Amino acid sequence: MDASTFHGFAQGILRAVGTVIDGKPDAVRTALTVLLAEGHLLIEDVPGVGKTMLARALARSVDGTVTRIQFTPDLLPSDITGVSIFNQQTRAFEFNPGPVFANIVIGDEINRASPKTQSALLESMEERQVTVDGRSHRLYSPFTVIATQNPVEMEGTYALPEAQRDRFMARISMGYPDLTAELAMLRDRETASPLDALAPVVDLPTLARMIDYVRTVYVSPAVEQYAVRIVQTTRRDAALRLGASPRATLQLVRAAKAAAALDGREFVLPDDVDALSVPVLAHRLLPTGRSTSSGTDSLTVATEAVRRIVAATSVPVGAPVPS
């Protein structure tokens, strides 16, 4: 696969999802970036702005297996991973895979489930396998979790601990649609569900090849250093209690590669890093108590901190000298 083929497929997916999600190209683009970078996506926003719709549209545009888990307080870990059941005929335990066995797993309202259940999903996200009754079962590949959650201030929610938020490559929020987008949505949804009309754009092998292609996108030492500098600065920032992890660096660069490929470029620009720094880094950061005491919620503080750090980090220029 080369850059232009990739670009063609990617544009197809973006167009298809765009027919369902009106006026949110950035969110759609970030979601696809995460998918192509083999990451997991956290969509966080108030109910009713299309979080689930985005997840489902993205899943549907790819011709893979898609499962959807509605998280509730009484959901058990085995409801996600699957259970071993004794088969009377074969007289042996057989593994009955849970919904996590799919290419795209949509986890709705993940913060409504108990921490125990949440961690079952989050562990499988990281390990890309589940272990039931001492036996490990590999998950599908490609495997992406698109989780939605309501803001933590809502009733009946268990906020994801920071260690678990770290598993998500990126966090986006949808935001309310603007006037025209909302009007368009009204007209479209009255007659038929656009989601039903959405046909898969790429099949599974193509998606796998696209993901393989993203791995080959070139990251120059200059850009690597740029990303590292940004991440390291978050660990020193006065407004932040917890900075981003090394895993964040890795995921920032990986996401940037996917973004570059989405643009039809075979190398990463500092601009790609800049554009992804807030979605990739902000949800991993913990503001200090003082910086949130004025009523600003922690995510806003973290977002502003990331923006400030990116603006203050100088961009390396000049080609490295080949050794």
Partner 1 sequence: MSERTPARPRVDWGVVAAVTLTLLVSIGGLHTVLQGSGWLFAAGVTVVTGLVASAALRAIRVPSGLATLGGTLALVAVVVLLTAPQTAIAGLVPTPETLERWGALAAGARQSLAEQSVPAVAGPGLVFLLVAGSAVLAVVFDLLAFVLKVPALVGFQALVLVIVPVLFPGGSIDPVVVVATAAAWLAVLVLTRDERRRPLAASVLGAGALAGALALTVALPSVPSRALPVSGSGTGINPVISLGDNLRRGADAPVLAYTTEDGSGQYLRMLTIDDFSGDEWGPSGLATEVFEVSELPDQAPGVAPEVPSAPVRTAITIGALDTRWLPAPYAATQVDGLTGGWTFEPNTITISTGSGGTRDQDYEVTSLVVAPTPDQLEGRTTPREGFEPYLEIPEGLPEIVGATARDVAGDEGSAYAQAIALQDYFRVGGGFVYSEQAPLNGDYDGAGIGILEGFLQAKSGYCTHFASAMTLMARTLGIPARVAIGYLPGTALGEGAFQVNANDLHAWPELYFEGAGWVRFEPTVSRGELPQYAQGASPSEPGAEPSVPQNDEVPSTAPSSGATVSPSASETPSAPAVAGATPGARDDESTPTFVLAGLLVLAFVPLVVRRLLRARRLAALRSGRRGARPAWDELVATARDVGIDLETGETPRAFAARLAPRAPEDTLDRLLTGIERDFYGSPAPAAGLEGDLVEVTQALLDNSSPATRAAAIAIPRSLVGGRREFQAPLAPVRGG
Name the site residues for partner 1 (rule: CB under 8 A): 218, 220-223, 225, 266-271, 274, 310-323
Terminal Cα distance for the chain, rounded: 29
Rounded to an integer, what distance in angstroms lies between the CA atom of residue 17 and that of residue 23? 11
**Considering the complex, what minimum distance in angstroms separates the CB of residue 284 from partner 1?**
21
Kindly state the tokens that stand for 138. Answer: 């590999």
Residue 125 carries which side chain, given as an amino acid letter?
M
**Considering the complex, what minimum distance in angstroms separates the CB of residue 99 from partner 1?**
39
- Quick one: 166 or 274, whose CB is closer to partner 1? 274
**Considering the complex, what minimum distance in angstroms separates the CB of residue 216 from partner 1?**
9
List all residues 6 or more positions away from 244 whose beta carbon is below 8 Å from its beta carbon.
231, 234, 235, 281, 284, 285
Residue listed under structure tokens 């009377």: 88
**Considering the complex, what minimum distance in angstroms separates the CB of residue 225 from partner 1?**
5
Kindly state the tokens that stand for 318. Answer: 């000049």
**Considering the complex, what minimum distance in angstroms separates the CB of residue 291 from partner 1?**
21
| C-alpha closest to that of 240 among 306, 287, 297, 302 | 287
**Considering the complex, what minimum distance in angstroms separates the CB of residue 246 from partner 1?**
18
- Quick one: 49 or 219, whose CB is closer to partner 1? 219
- Quick one: 238 or 312, whose CB is closer to partner 1? 312
- Quick one: 238 or 317, whose CB is closer to partner 1? 317
DSSP 201-239: SEEHHHHHHHHHHHHHSB--HHHHHHHHHHHHHHHH-TT
- Quick one: 66 or 273, whose CB is closer to partner 1? 273
DSSP 51-71: HHHHHHHHHHHEES-EEEEE-
Residue listed under structure tokens 């996108």: 217
- Quick one: 180 or 225, whose CB is closer to partner 1? 225
